Structure 1
Amino acid sequence: MNLSQFRFKIDKTHVCDEDNVLLLVLVSSAPAHSNERNAIRQTWARPDQEVKVLFLLGDVVDETLQNRIAEEDSLFGDIVQGNFIDSYRNMTYKSVMSMKYVAYRCRTTKFVLKCDDDVFVNMPLMKVFLKHDLRYLPSGDYAFCSVNVDMPVIRSSVGEEAKWYVSYDEWPRETYPIYCAGWYVIMRTSTAVKVYAQAQETPFFWIDDVFLTGIVTEQLGHFIFVDMNKFTVPRDRWQLVVNGTFNEPFLFGSINMLPVMIRSFWGQVLSKPVRSSLFDNTSFTRNVN
């Protein structure tokens, strides 16, 4: 990576000291999103011996905001902050920081979930999925996520798509490699360590999900993508979850969930028994590059 002299401005060195940690969750969060972080803390990230949850932030120039972040961390002890400016074009640094944290601080956990701070995780069923459904998972490097295949590169610098404009100098191909939509991805910890190592040898690209789970994994080779869309609640079916009539198994809510929705989903999860398997009468699709 082309970021020189990286360091953790706020660090957590003993999160994974316990031997029984099943899952490390690394939540990419905007510095000012304390409400979003609190919604997660109060719902699916409640204290659990098998699951550790940390929030990843970049640096800020606003001293008042930095003081609030420090106070929040002193209260909850779950923030990791890098010394790069937290901005849209620096999201790749935050994503690579998450893998660096795994490699340097948390190799003993079995799985890693990287997600955004507007994501709902059905944690009781997630634990079933990891402990039981994946217990016979063959060896190899996997990414469980919402998979994007043959996504075209945006070449228009005007209109709504301008935000995603990429020049031919930045990326000469017309499509991106297969990659995970950036709002959630599950990997084995050993895979995350490999991804971090390969990222150090890969030229910087500013679209973080394309970089980390597309360009980097393409260079690793033999990477297996498992599409989890059928276990992700579509936005047009949110209300069915809230009123208790959504009976399909799900691990994730949809993208861009507000704190009030995350709390509503959690209430419904707690009101129902936990399934013994995610895959009752279902199957999933693997896409291999």
Structure 2
Amino acid sequence: MGIKETSSVPATVPPTVPPTGIQYHQAYAHNYHFIMDNEEVCKTTKPFLVLMVPVAPHDVAARDAIRQTWGKDSKVQGEVVFTLFMLGYSGRADAGQVQEKVKQENLQHHDLIQSDFMDTYLNLTIKTMVIMEWLATRCPTAAYGMKVDSDMFLNIDNLVIMLQKPGIPKKEYLTGMLMWNAPVLRSKNSKWYVPVEMYPRNTYPTYTLGMGYIFSNDLPGKFVEVSKSIKPFNIEDAYIGMCMEKLGLAPTSPPNPSQFKAYITKYNRCEFSKVITYILGSAEELVKYWTDLKKPGQPC
């Protein structure tokens, strides 16, 4: 039984509470239900690429900036590309008001998907697995998917061009900025702290950095299935690396690894014309840089 669409209030899922006191819900996607869905988007058109953007319910500015920039066009380099936003349920004091605004926003744009987990940083693995469940059950005909963070500059043209290259696998393919032998952080002061009880190994398997990774669309269903046998922990990109390892697969280095960059020091038009990803500081930066990059008649 897959995730069902429902208009009910969020289900109560018993949390796992390790001795360290970290509260974490089970990441297995079937524990959750969609309370908002746009499953029809893949029924009439077969997309080449679906961009799935995890974003907080209240962060309208990030969604609007993406709608104005790399999420604007549904046809890129001759291919059909969809951009959808994945939300959990707001835990803020004004959650009711936030939820009503989210409903109105979806009526306008028809690009929001919401599930009944609490939308917190600690629950990013849940959010990612629900993304995978949605792709597997709602959009199985897509060729590729991408999980891309809402604070990213994404050069969508360069990404599609990369995926169109001869020799890019159509099955069992995961790529992005690869992380090898990354240590597990045990300091409780770290944003990326993981207690031994949740993940006993000292290093993670090879994984793709969570800012933006691309995968052939046969993988989401396999991730959801194999997650039944993998204890969840709160580092979502490393968790996907664990799923790959358990499946006997490994991420692939992109054709040009230099196109996947993390943090930017300063904007450079020529540089941005060549990359696929960059992490930005704000929605305003995204609109500003994108507008400049798309100016006609400019060098680079």
**Same fold by TM-score greater than 0.5:** yes
- Of 218, 223, 241, the residue aligned with 1:195 is 223
Q: Distance in 2 between matches of 1:139 and 1:37?
A: 29
Aligned counterpart for 1:16 among listed residues 24, 34, 42: 42
Of 163, 174, 186, which aligns to 1:155? 186
* Structure 2: runs of 5 or more not aligned: 1-26
Shift of the 106–195 alpha-carbon distance from structure 1 to 2, 3 Å rule, reads same
Summarize the Cα distance change of 1:154–1:235 in structure 2 as closer, same or farther, 3 Å threshold. closer
Is residue 2:201 matched to residue 1:173?
A: yes
Equivalent position of 1:282 in the other structure: none
Higher relative contact order (CA 8 A, sep 6+): 1
CA RMSD of aligned residues (A): 2.2
**Given the two structures, how large is their TM-score scaled by the length of structure 1?**
0.83
CA positional deviation for 1:79: 0.4
Q: Provide, for residues 79-113 of structure 1, a one-character-per-residue CA deviation record: whole Å limited to 9, x for no partner.
A: 00000111111111100000000110001111101
Q: 1:256 to 1:246 in 2, by over 3 A?
A: closer
Q: Is the 8 A contact 1:140 1:223 kept in 2?
A: no
Contact 1:120/1:257, CA 8 A, preserved across alignment: no
For 1:249, the equivalent position in structure 2 comes to 274
Conserved 8 A contact 2:208-2:251: no
Q: Is the 8 A contact 1:58 1:83 kept in 2?
A: yes
Aligned partner of 1:204 in structure 2 is 232
Give the equivalent residue in structure 2 for 1:280: none
State the Cα distance separating 1:257 from its structure 2 match: 3.5
Residue 65 (structure 1) shift: 0.8
Query: Does the alignment pair 1:51 with 2:81?
Result: yes
Alignment of 1:132-147 (within 5 A): 133=165, 135-138=166-169, 140-147=171-178
Whether the 8 Å CA contact 2:52–2:131 is kept in 1: the answer is yes
Go from structure 1 to structure 2 and tell me whether the alpha carbon gap of 1:86 and 1:144 turns closer, same or farther (over 3 Å shift): same
- Superposition deviation, residue 5 in structure 1: 4.4
TM-score (structure 2 length as normaliser): 0.81
Could you say which residue in structure 1 is the equivalent of 2:124?
A: 91
Give the aligned partner of residue 258 of structure 1.
Answer: 282
Matched residue, 1:220: 247
In 1, the alpha carbon distance for the partners of 2:272 and 2:84 equals 30
Q: Give the AA of the match of 2:173.
A: Y
Q: Is the 8 A contact 2:87 2:119 kept in 1?
A: yes
Aligned length: 263
Structure 1 unaligned regions, length at least 5: 274-289
2:57 maps to 31
Deviation, structure 1 residue 256: 3.8
Q: Report sequence identity in percent.
A: 26
Q: Which residue of 1 aligns with 2:268?
A: 240
